[in-house]
Amino acid sequence: MWGHRSEILKTTWGFGMDLQLQGKVALVTGSSKGIGEAIARTLALEGATVIVHGRDKAQAQRVAADILASGGRGHVVVGDLTFDEQVQRIVEEAGERAGPVDILVNNAGGSGGVKESWATTEPASWTTAYDRNVLSAVRMTTRLLPQMQARRWGRVVNISSLAATMAPASSPGYAACKAAMNAMTSSLAKAVASSGITVNAISPGTIHSDALDARFREVAAEKGLADRDAPWDAIERAVLPLFAEVPVGRTGEPEEVARAVAFLVSPLAGYITGTNLRIDGGLSPVI
């Protein structure tokens, strides 16, 4: 499979573009599942050596093992990015196992599964969310930036959210964190632009995940719209309009986010920096 790259690229991208990621080392935080896992797998497919990160060692090892079994190059680092000493250890282990990191994808974070309203939100939860999303990315970036600057080449991609620019009434702390990541992206891009380093953000919209799948099925059953065990396309068709009026009429797939990341971190995207790429099926009204 891996010996026929042109065929793989045609299958993945629809055409034979070589993203020139052979020999690059990529560290993807929070890549033991979900969007992060899709990013790790896609970068490995494109020839990069991928450092799979997570807090669950077994999950991270599963992803890395699959990459290796498919002929790719992958390693595992484990740790909590809200602790400085663990971040330092992760960076050191990544360097020992794969060499200097060329590409950093700050994907770890998320809402933590907590749903808050303005009636229930507490400052402490905002602090926790900020540490998990923004400061975790800052810790990783500031430790890896010097080696990128020394080599005068590097890529940083921050996984934000459409919530940053289309903030919902609920989960205000999470939306504020992602808005901060967008501002951080813009500032850093300007600071390192002359060093051969690009910094961009990606804001996914409604992306299919295990959690979203379960929630949609729950709503479908509660409202009598479809059987809980119906095929996904039937669930999606019935429930998506209740959550978001997505113009393309479907949820996105993690691989669609991953392919955008793969392009942005490639040498082919060297003139793209400071951007916030929305992958939302046309949901955002912002041009």
- Which pLDDT band holds residue 13 (cuts at 50, 70, 90)? very low
Say if residue 4's pLDDT is above 70. no
Residue ranges covered by each domain of the chain: 5-207+255-279, 208-251
- The whole-chain average pLDDT of the chain stands at 93
pLDDT at residue 240 is higher than 80? yes
Residue 279 pLDDT > 80: yes
Which amino acid is it at 267?
A: P
Flag whether pLDDT at 5 surpasses 80.
no
Name 95's Cβ contacts closer than 8 Å, sequence gap at least 6: 101
| Least confident stretch, 14-28, 44-58, 181-195, 202-216 | 14-28
Q: What is the pLDDT of residues 174-212, one digit of tens each?
A: 999 999 999 999 999 999 999 999 999 999 999 999 999
- Between residues 233 and 285, which one has the greater pLDDT? 233
pLDDT at 287: 67
Q: In CATH, what number does 5-207+255-279 get?
A: 3.40.50.720
Q: Say yes or no to pLDDT of 114 above 60.
A: yes
pLDDT of residue 110: 85
Round to whole Å and give the CA distance between 107 and 88.
17
Do 160 and 181 contact (CB within 8 A), yes or no? yes
Q: Annotated active-site positions, please?
A: 174
pLDDT exceeds cutoff 70 at 2: no
- pTM of structure: 0.92
Q: Which residues of 116-137 are buried (b: 16+ CB within 10 A; e: fewer)?
A: beeeebeeebbebbbbbbbbbb
Condensed to tens digits (0 to 9), the pLDDT of residues 119-171 reads 999 999 999 999 999 999 999 999 999 999 999 999 999 999 999 999 989 88
Per-residue pLDDT, 16: 54
Q: How confident is the model at residue 115 (pLDDT cuts 50, 70, 90)?
A: confident
